[in-house]
Amino acid sequence: MIALVTGAGSGIGAAIAERLGRDGHRVAVNDLHLDAAEKVAEGIRAAGGDARAYAADVSDEAAVSAMMANLRAEMGVPEILVNNAGFGHQAPFPEIEPADFDRIFAVHVRGTYLMIRACLPTMLAAGQGNIVNIASQLGQIGGVELAHYAGAKAAVIGLTKSLAREVSAKGVRVNAVAPGPVNTPLVAALSDDWKAAKRAELPLGRFGEPAEIGGVVSFLCSDD
């Protein structure tokens, strides 16, 4: 199958793309930066898989349309879509500027919507498909100095649940994965105080690893 993973130039997205490549899927590696996507695609190919890199800002409708046209011409129609693209921004609520709020929602929520909008029609026509949205634990419990990020991830969870009700009976599975903190550049950018407080909350006493999330997504994309 062809699997499209957004925001796959590093962190969780890269781990998901690499795992799906090992699972035998042909992987379209998307990232805002082509060089980062190409590096991950090269690694998948070096391991014996098939992957191509595609650069696009998932919050930009025209960029998404152009990427999808290229992808369909070069690889075919994605049967698996993993919406992982995102970024973090930490600030006390009074310091969150409208531009910060808008950009968080543009990438995490609008980006997820635009990607599903681009891929869902062919899945429905085929009577099969698999969509996995990467949400966050913070979308369920909230996060200090991350109100806009947590709000966006809560929106992704609501979108996922609603779409699953709408299209599951038509052969398209829709799920979300809501990780806690994972050792990625996004989490590394948060304050040391935040990371220490968060680590103290976790039963394992450590943050997750990207490959662990890759394993969950691999299961959700499998026949199991």
- Rounded to 10 degrees, the C-alpha dihedral 87/29/75/79 comes to -60
Amino acid 194: pLDDT: 82
DSSP characters over 179-219: ---BSSHHHHTS-HHHHHHHHHH-TTSS-B-HHHHHHHHHH
Residue 23 DSSP symbol: T
- Catalytic residue (choose from 54, 113, 149, 207): 149
Amino acid 186: pLDDT: 77
Amino acid 161: pLDDT: 98
Does 54 qualify as catalytic in the annotation?
Answer: no
For the chain, which ranges sit under pLDDT 70? none
**pTM of the predicted model as reported, rounded to 2 decimal places:** 0.94
Amino acid 30: pLDDT: 98
Amino acid 7: pLDDT: 98
Amino acid 160: pLDDT: 98
Amino acid 191: pLDDT: 85
Terminal-residue alpha carbon distance, the chain: 15
Q: CA-to-CA distance for 84 and 179, rounded, in angstroms?
A: 12
What is the arrangement of strands in the sheet containing 172-177, beginning at the earlier edge strand?
50-55, 26-31, 2-5, 80-83, 129-134, 172-177
